[in-house]
Amino acid sequence: MSNREVVVLSVGGVRFVTRASTLQQFPESRLARMLNGDDQEFKLVNGEFFVDRDGVLFSYIMDFLRTLQVSLPIDFSDYQRLQREAEFYGLYPLASLLSQEHLLKPRLEILEVRFSLQEMQAFFRIFGSCSTTIETLAEQITVFAGQHSGQSWNSPFPSQKTLIPLPLERPSHHDMVFQCGTEYSAGDQLGARYVSIKPDNRKLINGTNVLGLLFDTLLKDGFRLISARTVASEEKVECYSFERMKRPAGLTVMVNQAPGNSEVAQARRSQVHKGK
């Protein structure tokens, strides 16, 4: 890379090194005009452009110029200040997206697990405020039906027996119902239901073990347990509540590259990789 392609900026004492093409994503912005010497706000000192603005907020502006996407930390709160900086630099598509603060803020997500233990069977009902999370969890959980010759949950299951996967009950887009354990069938055989939760390959019949694996899965996915209570003591129904801050989908700017139309941009939603 030649020196002409490298641009160094000192913004509020914070040093940034980038490509000229990155700063020229929006040709009518002040950063693009700076490279042509058309904006006196930016002083060239010892080969570096000096800008008397907030250097921390400028790091988010640089990220936007590099990716054309607004993706802010979960704990970010300076939306108005960042919007003001975007307007200063003439990045009006970014300023427009920042004005839609409700789309950029993380949302609190609630998930509830109801667990009932009745003799040799365990019943689960999971409700979530986000239907997408329930869909994802439903893809991870598989219930298998088979026969169990032992007399307790801890008896080994014969590996040669065939297990048949069963569909989960889905009363709505926001919840799911399934069960595990054994019940008497013909002869001395026990009808059995096993539960597997990906990426764990085990098929568990003990309801307490399934509950523990479900907890581990939720905690690894960013949820935290906030309460545990008994809903119905007669039926032994326990309720466990979880919550997490859900990162919003990113807002991406699609730039119209036609000359003179750099500030005409279309925003669209795009999925952001999880970064917890």
Question: What are φ and ψ of residue 55, in 5° steps?
Answer: -75, -35
Using an 8 Å Cβ cutoff, are 143 and 179 in contact? yes
How far apart CA 145 and CA 91 sit, in angstroms, is 59
Using an 8 Å Cβ cutoff, are 223 and 182 in contact? no
Number of structural domains, the chain?
2
pLDDT tens for residues 159-210?
446 889 999 999 999 999 999 998 765 556 678 899 999 999 899 999 999 9
Same-domain status, 114 and 236: yes
Q: Which amino acid is at 179?
A: Q
pTM of the model: 0.63
Judged against a pLDDT cut of 50, whether residue 270 lies above it is answered with no
Same-domain status, 122 and 225: yes
Q: Assess if residue 48 is contained within a domain.
A: yes
Structure tokens at 166: 């069963």
Same-domain status, 139 and 25: no
Same-domain status, 208 and 133: yes
Same-domain status, 136 and 70: no
Same-domain status, 210 and 116: yes
Judged against a pLDDT cut of 90, whether residue 266 lies above it is answered with no
Judged against a pLDDT cut of 60, whether residue 118 lies above it is answered with yes
Same-domain status, 90 and 48: yes
> Which of 39, 74, 105 is at the close of a domain?
105
Same-domain status, 67 and 100: yes
Instruction: For residue 2, give the 3-state DSSP assignment.
Output: coil
Judged against a pLDDT cut of 50, whether residue 105 lies above it is answered with yes
Same-domain status, 71 and 125: no
pLDDT given at position 187: 56
Q: Assess if residue 119 is contained within a domain.
A: yes
DSSP string for 67-101: HSEE---TT---HHHHHHHHHHTT-HHHHHHHT-H
Same-domain status, 38 and 75: yes
Using an 8 Å Cβ cutoff, are 126 and 176 in contact? yes
Q: Assess if residue 256 is contained within a domain.
A: no
Q: Assess if residue 262 is contained within a domain.
A: no
Q: Which domain holds residue 60?
A: 6-105
pLDDT band, residue 234 (cuts 50/70/90) = confident
